[in-house]
Amino acid sequence: MNLPSPPDPQAFYEQVWLICKQIPAGRVTTYGQIASMIPPPAGIDPQIYQRIAPRWVGDAMTRAFSEDMVEGDHPAAVPWQRVINSQGRIAMREGGHGYREQMVRLEAEAVEFDSRDRVDFNRFGWEGPPQAWLTEHGFKQPKSLRAGSTHRSSDDSPEQLSLFP
């Protein structure tokens, strides 16, 4: 499936990174939860946006990861490691350098993985920035990651795309 890119990729990525910088250490969110905060760009059908925006968020995280790895041991400007998939797993190829790096960084922040390498959203899920911050930046209230919530992330559909081959 050939997915379109955001109309202005850099502007979209900057929105994603701004949101990511709000995620506190020890918390995680999903590509879909971040996408749910960003209104669809002009000219993009909201239903199509809901399906493709998590992928766009993944592209932004891939870019943040790549730039962080080039910079070396400096603290990352964007905490890319705090964004995982809707199943509570690291989306990068298991066993790869990025996968291990993300797991090490999350564990250093006291995020725990179960025996299936999943994070419990009830314990470690982020519920988003304060409403005042969202309003100030033109973002929407995110959907909850917590089990039993009436609001779920838009990336919970079985149609979710793989972010990393």
Sequence-ordered alpha helix ranges (H) in the chain? 9-20, 31-37, 46-71, 97-108, 121-124, 131-137
**Over 70: is that where the pLDDT of 159 sits?**
no
- Which residue is listed with tokens 């493709």? 52
Angle CA 41–14–63, to nearest 5: 110
CATH number for the domain whose boundaries are 9-156: 1.10.10.10
Determine the residue type at 53: A
* Domain range list for the chain: 9-156
120, two tokens: 């419990």
Q: Give the pLDDT of residue 48.
A: 92
User: Distance (Å, rounded) from C-alpha 158 to C-alpha 156?
Assistant: 7
pLDDT in tens, 34-89: 999 999 999 899 999 999 999 999 999 988 888 776 555 444 589 999 999 999 99
Determine the residue type at 161: L
Q: Give the pLDDT of residue 4.
A: 79
* DSSP character at residue 15: H
In this prediction, residues 27-35 reach a mean pLDDT of: 97
Q: Give the pLDDT of residue 148.
A: 57
Strand, coil or helix: what is 142? coil
**Over 80: is that where the pLDDT of 30 sits?**
yes
Strand, coil or helix: what is 12? helix
